[in-house]
Amino acid sequence: MGKRIGIEVSIAAAEAVKQANVDVISAYPITPQTHIVEHLSELVANGEMDAEFFCVESEHSALSVCVGSQATGARSFTCTSAQGLALLSEVTFIASGLRLPIVMILANRTLSAPLSIWNDHSDAMMVRDCGWIQFFTENGQEVYDHVFISYRVAEDRQVLFPAIINMDGFILSHVIEPLEMIEQEKIDQFLPPYEPLHRLHPDKPVTMGAFALPAIFAETKKAQEVALLSSLPKILEVWKAFGDMTGRYYHPIETYRAEDAETLLVTMGSFGETASVAVDQMRAEGRSVGLIKIRLWRPFPFNDFKKAVQGAKNLVVIDRAVSPGGPKGPVASEVRSALFGESVHPTVYDFVAGISGRDVGPSDFVKMVDKAEIEIEEGNREGYELYGVRE
Amino acid sequence: MVPSLPNDQERGRGNLSYSKREVFGMTKPEYEWTWKELPVGNVILEPGNASQYRTGDWKSLKPVLKRELCIHCGLCYIFCPDMAYGPDSESCFIADLFYCKGCGICAKECPTGAITMVMEEEGK
């Protein structure tokens, strides 16, 4: 069992990057991701970490450097938030198209305008379709663990996709939590050195990033889509191996007191812990309420999700981003799509809550469940509300 | 010293027409590839195969040289953005029409007016 210490989650994330033997770090500081980059630059400058740290002039360059370094066979890392992600978003599609297993931590933050440094998932939803594997984490331990998990999954020859680890800005990034650090020997066993399938090397020249005419583009996208969907069994395999090593087992869909629950809350990210407190309260009152947490956002685990919500009457989805002019919140829209083909399925009520870091406490989850249950009972099949907005 | 371009036989492209030529630069034409056969990340594993790509069929105008005006200065060779120019046996610079896109920069730069751009189908 590893050492359990109190540590700021951002520092723990940086320590994980060090333990993962990353060769190249290229990042540009932006709130609330800053502490991760600061700590990594200290580790490299002090000689505690054998890596190149690239101080680039923008996030676009940050990920571009990672694309180049990963293409030469160097294990590469970057991290960003909101506006920084927007600037580098162009390169996210390139990294996945080239199948380069870069790992990026996204300290989730609201996209401007209005300008805000606080947390929500509008940045993550912006790159929903960028073709990366995307995890959402609930606490600091999960962030730390998923650095190793992400590299092992991403670099697998059967996978070869970049991965995003979403962590809620401030709510996770700036909090000191008790974390179990894993011994280096165990990490080295779990995460072997990166052996690229193709690399840029003068001994065997290859071309990466050539253009494709319409006659072949659709074939490239089909290959990419099938490969991303096929990464799910490998992700499960790596989670299993990680669980066997640490005792912490992860699943694409996590459930909490969900058995036989009539109403299920559905959350992503740090909402999960708060919602579980609310579920405990409601269960204590004899109410039939449970919790579903989506950990794997891409590839979306449709079968696991359908299985987890089977038998429930109501789903109360808590989104943390607005999809203006779209089909309600992005998570609810995904959930509705997942269930559309089922002959019997729960009714979905969607709340968008906690945008731009507004506090959502256990009592708020209770209120949302109250409202959804009443309205669904009254026949509202398409409930949607931007929770807590003053009229 | 100006390096000369390989001829068609040296490139191994013979008299193949465009329709039979691979464009993606691999072992068969791009429209014959299925999605299952593509290399991961669409990496091109054969170095230098861009030379097999016929950019020449993009053009509508082609350069024609009046040999008696050519002073062998090589400006067409220097300015050609596609490196389509090379010297022939008489040390005149000639555009390889397999690559020439017909941009006309050579004709613009030629100090003696030896190069004129003509409609491809009329200039035979």
| Domain's final residue, options A223, A246, A269 | A246
Note whether B43 contacts A206, CB cutoff 8 Å: yes
| Domain's final residue, options A201, A219, A246 | A246
Note whether A160 contacts B40, CB cutoff 8 Å: yes
pLDDT tens digits for range B33-92:
899 999 999 998 887 777 777 888 889 999 999 999 999 999 999 999 999 999 988 889
Q: What is the pLDDT of residue B28?
A: 66
* 3-state DSSP assignment of residue A388: coil
Contacts of A274 (CB under 8 A, 6+ apart): A360, A361, A362, A365
Is B23 at the interface with chain A, CB within 8 A? Answer: yes
Q: Based on the domain organization, do A218 and A267 belong to the same domain?
A: no
Q: Based on the domain organization, do A184 and A257 belong to the same domain?
A: no
Q: What is the pLDDT of residue A323?
A: 96
Q: From CA A346, how far away is CA A210, in angstroms rounded?
A: 47
Is the pLDDT at B2 greater than 70? The verdict is no
Judge whether B80 lies within some domain. Answer: yes
- Residues spanned by the domain of B84: 55-119
pLDDT tens digits for range A119-141:
999 999 999 999 999 999 999 99
Is B32 at the interface with chain A, CB within 8 A? Answer: no
Under 8 Å between Cβ of A134 and A297 = yes
The token pair at A355 is: 């945008």
Strands (E), B1-124: 61-65, 85-87, 93-95, 115-119
Q: CATH number, domain at B76? A: 3.30.70.20
From the CA of B42, how many Å to the nearest CA of chain A?
A: 7
- Residues spanned by the domain of A274: 253-386
Note whether B35 contacts A100, CB cutoff 8 Å: no
Residue of A nearest to B44 (CA): A207
Q: Based on the domain organization, do A219 and A285 belong to the same domain?
A: no
Interface test with B, best of A158, A219, A229 (most B CBs within 10 A): A219
Longest Cα pair distance anywhere in chain A, in angstroms?
70
Q: Based on the domain organization, do A138 and A215 belong to the same domain?
A: yes
Q: From CA A391, how far away is CA A384, in angstroms rounded?
A: 15
Is the pLDDT at B7 greater than 50? The verdict is no
DSSP letters, A114-153, are S---S--SHHHHHTTTSS-EEEE-SSHHHHHHHHHHHHHH
Q: Based on the domain organization, do A208 and A287 belong to the same domain?
A: no
Whole-model pTM: value is 0.88
Is the pLDDT at B27 greater than 90? The verdict is no
Note whether B41 contacts A97, CB cutoff 8 Å: yes
Q: Based on the domain organization, do A213 and A292 belong to the same domain?
A: no
Is B41 at the interface with chain A, CB within 8 A? Answer: yes
Judge whether B75 lies within some domain. Answer: yes
Q: Based on the domain organization, do A226 and A304 belong to the same domain?
A: no
| Domain's final residue, options A218, A246, A274 | A246
What ipTM was estimated for this complex? Answer: 0.88
State the total domains in chain B: 1
From the CA of A93, how many Å to the nearest CA of chain B?
A: 12
Is A55 at the interface with chain B, CB within 8 A? Answer: no
Q: CATH number, domain at A365? A: 3.40.50.920
Is the pLDDT at B111 greater than 70? The verdict is yes
Q: What is the pLDDT of residue B10?
A: 44
Type of residue numbered A163: A
From the CA of A195, how many Å to the nearest CA of chain B?
A: 14
State the total domains in chain A: 2
Judge whether B89 lies within some domain. Answer: yes
Q: From CA B17, how far away is CA A388, in angstroms rounded?
A: 68
Is the pLDDT at B20 greater than 90? The verdict is no
- How many CA atoms does the CB half-sphere of A117 hold within 13 Å? 9
| Tokens 């309600």, located at residue | A328
- How many CA atoms does the CB half-sphere of B19 hold within 13 Å? 0
Please give the angle made by the CA atoms of B109, B84 and B44, to the nearest 5 degrees.
Answer: 140
Q: What is the pLDDT of residue B15?
A: 37
Is the pLDDT at B19 greater than 70? The verdict is no
Note whether B42 contacts A197, CB cutoff 8 Å: no
Q: What is the pLDDT of residue A375?
A: 98
Q: What is the pLDDT of residue B123?
A: 53
pLDDT tens digits for range A63-120:
999 999 999 999 999 999 999 999 999 999 999 999 999 999 999 999 999 999 999 9
Which of the residues in chain A have pLDDT under 50? Answer: none
Q: What is the pLDDT of residue B11?
A: 41
Under 8 Å between Cβ of A267 and A291 = yes
Q: What is the pLDDT of residue B52?
A: 75
Note whether B40 contacts A216, CB cutoff 8 Å: no
From the CA of A197, how many Å to the nearest CA of chain B?
A: 8
Judge whether A391 lies within some domain. Answer: no
Q: From CA B86, how far away is CA B74, in angstroms rounded?
A: 9
What is the band of B30 on the pLDDT scale with cuts at 50, 70, 90? confident
